[in-house]
Amino acid sequence: MPHRKNRRPLTLRDVSEASGVSEMTVSRVLRNRGDVSASTREKVLTAAKALGYVPNMIAGGLASQRVNLVAVVIPSLSNLVFPDVLTGISAELDDTPLQPVVGVTNYSLSREESVLYDMLSWRPSGVILAGLEHNRAARAMLAAASVPVVEIMDIDGDVIDCGVGISHLAAGRQMGEQILAAGYRRIGFIGTHMPEDHRAKKRLAGLERALGAAGISLAAREFYQGGSSLAKGRELTERILERQPDLDFLYYSNDMIGAGGMLWCREQGFDIPGRLGLAGFNGVDLLDGLPMRLATTDARRFDIGRRAARIVAGKEPAPDGGKLVLKPHFMGGETIRPAD
């Protein structure tokens, strides 16, 4: 259930009471000052982390104890998805005093914890962050932040305050149903290493649910680590088809590797979409310059950023039930046969 921000901000006294150490000692530990024993330091840090307490870096004289910044935490700047999200956020904040400041986690939960700690110490007026999966310390900090916290991109799970995004389970299931309706039966999946990409994992689960309902199992899968690229898509497509040449459809976890796979298949003379169908995910502008329009899903990136910023800026209320669910939109392109 969503955590509503109706609690008072945490203070040094809270950490003092939780750790059994004086407020003065707590202050010295958290600001890394003074002569404090290792055991006392550990006691204070453990209590602060469990509570989600973050020191206030604002000068004590600032009346509001808030700055006109919105902390935006995303996993990558190189991923083509997130510039659109940031554009949506900026568009909604342009006519407000608020300014977005961006932190990048590189898909690491420990890095996310560190980024949040630093950003929250400056007491932003709101937080927008990608995904629902966080470690315990990050979740505690967000729950204790007492400002709007909007988790974006994904609504398949519990939210801390509120969430804005699409269901990736639904997106995967929708694609699976389209693939089956077009008559494909030997389907392979190519995607990022699952522990690092929770949303791709959910799309794969949705795809498999759709196939399973028709009595079909996924015929092959290929995973990779690191960033997405056209070269990676070419390499993985060649690899999966060498291993299982009877596949008649490939579903990629994003458009970048899907575009690389499509280019390789065209060079090899594959009949697309007759012999082999292809689809990606995200609906990025990259697809406009390809020799064929890749089938994909519009993930509503700009809309997600815009609506999240509206909630943080107070332009619209937090959604009932904690989640604002946008619908993914299937884009047929030219790499999938028309439905039977």
Q: What is the 3 state secondary structure string of 54-103?
A: CCCCCCCCCCCCCCCEEEEEECCCCCCHHHHHHHHHHHHHCCCCCEEEEE
Q: Note the pLDDT tens digit of each residue in 105-150.
A: 988 899 999 999 999 988 899 999 999 999 999 999 999 988 999 9
Whole-angstrom Cα distance, residue 139 to residue 142? Answer: 5
Q: Which residue has the tokens 């990558």?
A: 76
What was the pLDDT predicted at 207? 97
Whole-model pTM: value is 0.83
- Which among 161, 168, 180, 194 is positioned nearest to 281, based on CA atoms? 168
Burial (Cβ within 10 Å: 0-12, 13-18, ≥19) of residue 32: exposed
Provide the token pair at 98.
């608020």
What was the pLDDT predicted at 7? 62
- Low-confidence residues of the chain: pLDDT under 50: 1-3, 61-63
Provide the token pair at 318.
């937090």
Name 104's Cβ contacts closer than 8 Å, sequence gap at least 6: 73, 74, 75, 76, 77, 115
What was the pLDDT predicted at 5? 52
- Domains (range + CATH), the chain: 1-53 (1.10.260.40), 58-166+302-325 (3.40.50.2300), 168-300 (3.40.50.2300)
Burial (Cβ within 10 Å: 0-12, 13-18, ≥19) of residue 131: buried
What was the pLDDT predicted at 6? 54
- Which among 104, 117, 103 is positioned nearest to 45, based on CA atoms? 117
Measured over the CA atoms of residue 75, residue 199, residue 294 and residue 227, the dihedral's sign is positive
- Do residues 81 and 281 touch, judged by C-beta distance below 8 A? no
